[in-house]
A = this chain, B = another copy of it.
Amino acid sequence: MCFPRFVLRLPDWVEVLLSDSERVYPTIEERMQLAVDLARRNVQHGTGGPFGAGVFDMETGKLLAPGVNLVVPLRCSTAHAEIVALTIAQQRAGSFDLGSSGLPPYELVSSTEPCAMCLGAVPWSGVRRLVCGARDEDARRVGFDEGAKPGDWVASLEGRGIAVLRDVCRTAAVAVLEQYRSAGGVIYNARPEGAGGDPEQGA
């Protein structure tokens, strides 16, 4: 038996876009603008869904790793923008814990509030802050399934010492989702709510 490997690799256009490795993003709005821009360009380039993210050094504003949704091209349902950004960030940092001693504090900036899976990934990643653009309900309104999250997820993260900042550039973030829907972008939801038995509401 020889099981296949899985290789997570960013699209070439991301490398070109972010070729200036010295660039800093001093404000939280600039960091979110990059995440939203990644989401928009990901659709334009046909490399995945309308979601972008980045892991930034909270103090210097340097980008450690970007992320875009790569579910379809990589044939991998977990390749959401946040998971991609965290995975590449941990490879760059050389640690499965971005919060380990010797590392600067990092934050995860996401163009849309994380789905249930990505939300669950946040505490394991070691980031100190989660910064969100569009809200859960914005994604659901467009048709994306966000999954079943604990109702008190913000308090839960904060109880673990992870700050949560919401609605950063929300309008711009929502616009990318709505453009995607207007252009007839595919919304894949493998197992939607109400597929069997009694429907269950997330969030």
Contacts and interface: CB of A to CB of B under 8 A. Distances in A.
A148 interface: yes
Contacts of A87: 6, 76, 78
B90 A76 contact: yes
A94 B4 CA distance: 11
Interface residues of A, number: 78
Interface in A64-102: 65-66, 71-72, 74-79, 83, 86-88, 90-92, 94-97, 99
Nearest to A146: B120
A159 B191 CA distance: 9
A121 B117 contact: yes
Given A78-B83, A124-B117, A191-B162, A8 B8 contact: yes
Interface stretch (A10-18, A133-141, A169-177): A10-18
Interface of A: 1-10, 14-15, 18-21, 65-66, 71-72, 74-79, 83, 86-88, 90-92, 94-97, 99, 115-121, 123-126, 145, 147-153, 155-156, 158-162, 188, 190-200, 202-203
4 closest A-B pairs by CB: A161-B196, A117-B120, A116-B120, A159-B200
